[in-house]
């Protein structure tokens, strides 16, 4: 796993070497083993290397073709690279080393940009073609690996992280109004949007080309093109078992040790079960206990799984001391305000591991592929809940006004919306339409933001996906939004901050190509989530794990804001620099803060977002 960056500037003779070196330095945590730059004509490319496959110099980057006409910088792992390598050798390609990087380079030379659709893996890469005077950058299907870009006069700058783009000093630090509006609802920008006006995410499954004629972005893979399967339950069960075995085996390929983050849940236990069959050494598993779990402790379950499969098991106990320091470090990891507080335990766990082992497998993606969330079960009865929600005004008089009532009200408010796209959006935020998160924004800023639709991404996908089956549409929407924009973003930044590569076998092409096309009734059945996955691994994973309820792990940031972080929250939000931005309505923000601190109301998510936004505005000197 690595960090990549680059500049193409058709208005200058060549990019400045010191600028490339400065960009590269910001990414050293992603690739502590080696860093190099390449400059020729209008192009400059940078690469920091975390050596995983082919640890020799033949795997170094930027990697150039034998004729020096094509240059590649690449971040990721291609799990079918051995198969692609054999196909290329049959066509006469001669390889110098054993790396998957060299396979990517020659695949482009041999097959053109269409080769990207053949890749099974996680990746973000950039290819400069000297003959065409053209840059090609691409990102994997689900956005496991990040890739950002910004355009400037006659040029483009790109990188694995925003900090490298900012280091190039080619663009302003102006705030993005659509990105900010989405942030207040979801805790992050969605789709292409970041919170910087001129910096964008390349969408997963897309190729960007840039030359003197400008920019073009085209998809090479789309979830709506997945073929619907008509297999019987028995056939589906057998195929899923085979694909899990093949995928997890392929993702164990590495020239350095591989471990597994084992929570004791179904996904990580499944990965451990199949990995223990194929890993040639004794498999290492890691579980973490935190001092703020508030009674939720999955260590005993993980311990049972580890014992069952004979792994070398490690239990790591982590204390959430000095939280302000951790929160500020995570702002620097993400380069944006980011409000999924689950990045805190993941960051702390990786800090403890300190890059040993370098490669970790974990279960992200399993809930979105196999339907592991309660909302999928609820949506099976969407019409029922929609009717109940319409009667809420009558029913709410029977409910006591407490925390439980607030959750019920939020749920019914979402289900009562007539627009399925908006319904999905409200299900995925803790906010409600009658108490919008923009209430803490000043009137002048609110007027600016409300010219942009915070539900636009959901509307676009709802129209694009077009499923009549609302559960399937929700699953596919989650694959397009919460997976890349929240969960995979959290995983990449928290782990790569410590030079650890995380692989997510549940998002292997073999699994997703098949399971995404299965009927939703195979995934949610008789009230049980992940039904077909449980069936496929029955007899492989212990029954006590398969039949255990989904525990979940909530980071108690609302409690922290009332206690250990209360003074810190006030100091950040009432800082003179933050007040000068005039983004917040300080009177309403103060009221919300005092209501939360006193326990009168729960404004956890709203205040957590405000805290992260305030820190980002100050640390990144954002132009308002």
In this predicted structure, the answer to whether residue 474 has a pLDDT above a threshold of 80 is yes
The two three-digit tokens of residue 577, written as one number:
């620099």
Q: Output the domain CATH number for residue 168.
A: 3.60.20.10
Measured in whole angstroms, the distance separating CA 355 from the mean position of its chain's CA atoms is: 20
Q: Which of 197, 221, 245 is the last residue of a domain?
A: 221
Q: How far apart are CA 204 and CA 221, in angstroms?
A: 9
437 Cβ contact list (under 8 Å, min separation 6): 184, 185, 431, 606, 609
Q: How far apart are CA 440 and CA 607, in angstroms?
A: 10
Segment 237-255 shows an average pLDDT of 95
Residues 61, 123: one domain?
yes
**pLDDT value for 549:** 73
Segment 533-559 shows an average pLDDT of 86
Q: Quick one: CA dihedral 180, 497, 74, 42, positive or negative? A: positive
Q: Would you place residue 184 in the very low, low, confident or very high pLDDT band (cuts 50, 70, 90)?
A: very high
In this predicted structure, the answer to whether residue 501 has a pLDDT above a threshold of 60 is yes
Give the SS3 label for residue 283. Answer: coil
Report the 10 Å Cβ neighbour count for 55.
Answer: 15
User: To the nearest whole percent, how much of the chain has pLDDT over 70?
Assistant: 94
DSSP classification of residue 202: P
Q: How far apart are CA 258 and CA 281, in angstroms?
A: 10
Between the alpha carbon of residue 133 and those of residues 42, 61, 147, 351, the distances in Å are 9, 20, 21, 42
Segment 178-200 shows an average pLDDT of 97
Q: State pLDDT tens for residues 140-165.
A: 999 999 999 999 999 999 999 999 99
**Are 518 and 231 spatial neighbours (Cβ–Cβ below 8 Å)?**
yes
Of 70-74, 220-224, 431-435, 482-486, the one with minimum mean pLDDT is 431-435
Residues 199, 269: one domain?
no
Cis check: omega of the bond before 357, within 30 degrees of 0: yes
Average pLDDT over the chain reads 91
Segment 2-16 shows an average pLDDT of 89
Residues 532, 567: one domain?
no
Q: Would you place residue 231 in the very low, low, confident or very high pLDDT band (cuts 50, 70, 90)?
A: very high
Residues 183, 45: one domain?
yes
Residue 384 lies in a domain: no
Nearest to 488 by CA among 286, 343, 374, 352: 343
Q: State pLDDT tens for residues 566-581.
A: 999 999 999 999 999 9
The two three-digit tokens of residue 4, written as one number:
């990549």
Nearest to 258 by CA among 244, 274, 243: 274
Residue 458 lies in a domain: no
Q: Output the domain CATH number for residue 276.
A: 3.40.50.620
Residue 463 lies in a domain: no
- Which ranges of 391-515 does DSSP label H, i.e. alpha helix? 392-395, 403-415, 420-427, 443-449, 456-465, 470-480, 482, 488-496, 509-515
Q: State pLDDT tens for residues 363-390.
A: 999 999 999 988 888 887 776 776 777 6
| Total number of domains in the chain | 3
Q: Would you place residue 410 in the very low, low, confident or very high pLDDT band (cuts 50, 70, 90)?
A: confident
In this predicted structure, the answer to whether residue 552 has a pLDDT above a threshold of 70 is no
In this predicted structure, the answer to whether residue 416 has a pLDDT above a threshold of 80 is no
For the chain, what's the residue count? 624
**pLDDT value for 465:** 85
Segment 504-525 shows an average pLDDT of 96
Segment 412-420 shows an average pLDDT of 77
In this predicted structure, the answer to whether residue 394 has a pLDDT above a threshold of 60 is no
Residue 590 lies in a domain: yes
In this predicted structure, the answer to whether residue 398 has a pLDDT above a threshold of 70 is no
Residues 77, 197: one domain?
yes
Residues 529, 564: one domain?
no
**pLDDT value for 466:** 76
**pLDDT value for 34:** 82
Residues 149, 11: one domain?
yes
Residues 265, 217: one domain?
no
Residue 473 lies in a domain: no
In this predicted structure, the answer to whether residue 295 has a pLDDT above a threshold of 60 is no
Residues 177, 281: one domain?
no
Segment 20-41 shows an average pLDDT of 92
Query: CA gyration radius for the chain?
Result: 24
DSSP classification of residue 486: I
Q: How far apart are CA 201 and CA 220, in angstroms?
A: 16
**pLDDT value for 403:** 59
In this predicted structure, the answer to whether residue 55 has a pLDDT above a threshold of 90 is no
Find tokens 């980011």 and name the residue.
338
521 Cβ contact list (under 8 Å, min separation 6): none
Q: Which residues lie across from 196 on neighbouring strands?
A: 175
Backbone torsions φ then ψ of 220, nearest 5 degrees: -105, -10
Residues 582, 618: one domain?
yes
Residue 387 lies in a domain: no
Exposure of 591 in the CB half-sphere (CA atoms within 13 A): 7
**Are 65 and 109 spatial neighbours (Cβ–Cβ below 8 Å)?**
yes
Nearest to 1 by CA among 116, 129, 99: 99
Q: Would you place residue 196 in the very low, low, confident or very high pLDDT band (cuts 50, 70, 90)?
A: very high
14 Cβ contact list (under 8 Å, min separation 6): 39, 40, 41, 42, 43, 44
Residues 531, 487: one domain?
yes
Q: State pLDDT tens for residues 312-346.
A: 999 988 777 789 999 999 999 999 999 999 999 89
**pLDDT value for 14:** 82
Q: Which of 157, 186, 221 is the last residue of a domain?
A: 221
Cis check: omega of the bond before 595, within 30 degrees of 0: no
Q: How far apart are CA 27 and CA 80, in angstroms?
A: 27
pTM for the model: 0.94
- The pairs formed by 166-171 with CB atoms below 8 angstroms and a separation of 24 or more are 166/335, 166/620, 167/19, 167/22, 167/23, 167/25, 167/26, 168/7, 168/19, 168/22, 168/23, 169/19, 170/7, 171/196, 171/198, 171/199
- Which ranges of 161-229 does DSSP label H, i.e. alpha helix? 162-167, 177-186
Nearest to 306 by CA among 145, 542, 506, 468: 542
Host domain of residue 586:
556-624
Residues 524, 539: one domain?
yes
308 Cβ contact list (under 8 Å, min separation 6): 542
**pLDDT value for 260:** 96
**pLDDT value for 151:** 97
Residue 403 lies in a domain: no
Q: Which of 498, 516, 546 is the last residue of a domain?
A: 546
In this predicted structure, the answer to whether residue 17 has a pLDDT above a threshold of 60 is yes
**Are 248 and 276 spatial neighbours (Cβ–Cβ below 8 Å)?**
no
Cis check: omega of the bond before 393, within 30 degrees of 0: no
Nearest to 460 by CA among 478, 477, 474, 475: 477
**Are 380 and 524 spatial neighbours (Cβ–Cβ below 8 Å)?**
yes
Residue 86 lies in a domain: yes
Q: Would you place residue 400 in the very low, low, confident or very high pLDDT band (cuts 50, 70, 90)?
A: low
Where is 40: in which H helix or E strand? strand 34-40
């Amino acid at each position: 796993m690595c960090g990549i960056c680059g500049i193409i500037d058709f208005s200058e003779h060549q990019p400045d070497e010191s600028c490339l070196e400065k960009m590269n330095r910001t990414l050293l945590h992603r690739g502590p083993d080696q860093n190099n730059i390449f400059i020729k004509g209008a192009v400059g490319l940078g690469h920091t290397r975390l050596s995983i496959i082919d640890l020799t110099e033949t795997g170094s980057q930027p990697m150039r073709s034998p004729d020096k006409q094509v240059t590649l910088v690449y971040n990721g792992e291609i799990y079918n690279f051995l198969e692609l390598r054999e196909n290329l050798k049959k066509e006469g390609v001669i390889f110098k080393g054993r790396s998957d990087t060299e396979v990517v380079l020659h695949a482009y030379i041999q097959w053109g940009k269409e080769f990207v659709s053949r890749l099974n893996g996680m990746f973000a890469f950039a290819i400069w073609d000297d003959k065409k005077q053209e840059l090609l950058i691409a990102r994997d299907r689900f956005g496991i690996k990040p890739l950002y870009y910004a355009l400037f006069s006659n040029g483009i700058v790109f990188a694995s992280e925003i900090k490298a783009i900012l280091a190039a000093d080619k663009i302003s630090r102006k705030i993005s109004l659509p990105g900010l509006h989405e942030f207040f609802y979801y805790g992050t920008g969605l789709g292409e949007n970041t919170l910087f006006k001129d910096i964008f995410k390349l969408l997963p499954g897309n190729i960007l080309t840039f030359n003197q004629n400008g920019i073009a972005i085209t998809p090479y893979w789309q979830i709506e093109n997945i073929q619907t399967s008509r297999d019987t339950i028995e056939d589906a069960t057998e195929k899923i078992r085979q694909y899990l075995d093949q995928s997890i085996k392929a993702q164990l390929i590495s020239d350095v040790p591989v471990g597994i983050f084992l929570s004791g849940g179904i996904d990580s236990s499944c990965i451990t079960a199949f990995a223990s069959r194929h890993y040639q050494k004794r498999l290492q598993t890691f579980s973490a206990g935190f001092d703020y779990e508030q009674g939720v402790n999955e260590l005993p379950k993980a311990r049972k799984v580890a014992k069952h499969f004979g792994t070398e098991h490690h239990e790591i106990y982590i204390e959430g001391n000095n939280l302000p320091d951790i929160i500020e470090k995570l702002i620097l990891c993400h380069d944006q305000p980011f409000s999924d507080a689950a990045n805190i335990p993941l960051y702390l766990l990786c800090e403890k591991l300190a890059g040993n082992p370098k490669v970790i497998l974990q279960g992200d993606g399993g809930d979105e592929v196999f339907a592991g969330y309660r909302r999928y079960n609820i949506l099976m009865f969407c019409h029922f809940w929609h009717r109940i929600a319409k009667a809420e005004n009558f029913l709410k008089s029977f409910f006591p006004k407490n925390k439980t009532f607030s959750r019920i009200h939020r749920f019914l408010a979402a289900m009562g919306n007539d627009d399925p796209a908006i319904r999905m959006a409200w299900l995925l935020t803790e906010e409600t339409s009658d108490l919008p998160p923009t209430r803490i924004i000043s009137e002048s800023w609110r007027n600016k933001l409300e010219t942009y639709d915070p539900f636009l991404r959901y509307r676009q996908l709802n129209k694009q996906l077009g499923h009549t089956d609302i559960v399937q549409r929700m699953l596919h929407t989650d694959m397009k939004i919460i997976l890349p924009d929240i969960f995979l973003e959290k995983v990449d930044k928290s782990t790569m901050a410590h030079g650890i590569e995380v692989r997510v076998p549940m998002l292997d092409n073999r699994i997703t190509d098949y399971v995404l096309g299965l009927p939703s009734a195979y995934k949610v059945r008789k009230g049980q989530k992940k039904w077909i996955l449980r069936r496929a691994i029955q007899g492989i994973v212990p029954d006590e794990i398969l039949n255990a309820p989904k525990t979940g792990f909530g980071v108690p940031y609302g409690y922290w804001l009332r206690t250990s972080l209360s003074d810190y929250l006030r100091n950040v939000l009432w800082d003179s620099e933050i007040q000068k931005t005039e983004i917040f309505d300080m009177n309403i923000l103060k009221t919300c803060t005092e209501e939360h601190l006193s326990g009168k109301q729960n404004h956890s998510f709203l205040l957590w977002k405000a805290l992260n936004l305030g820190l980002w505005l100050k640390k990144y000197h954002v132009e308002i």
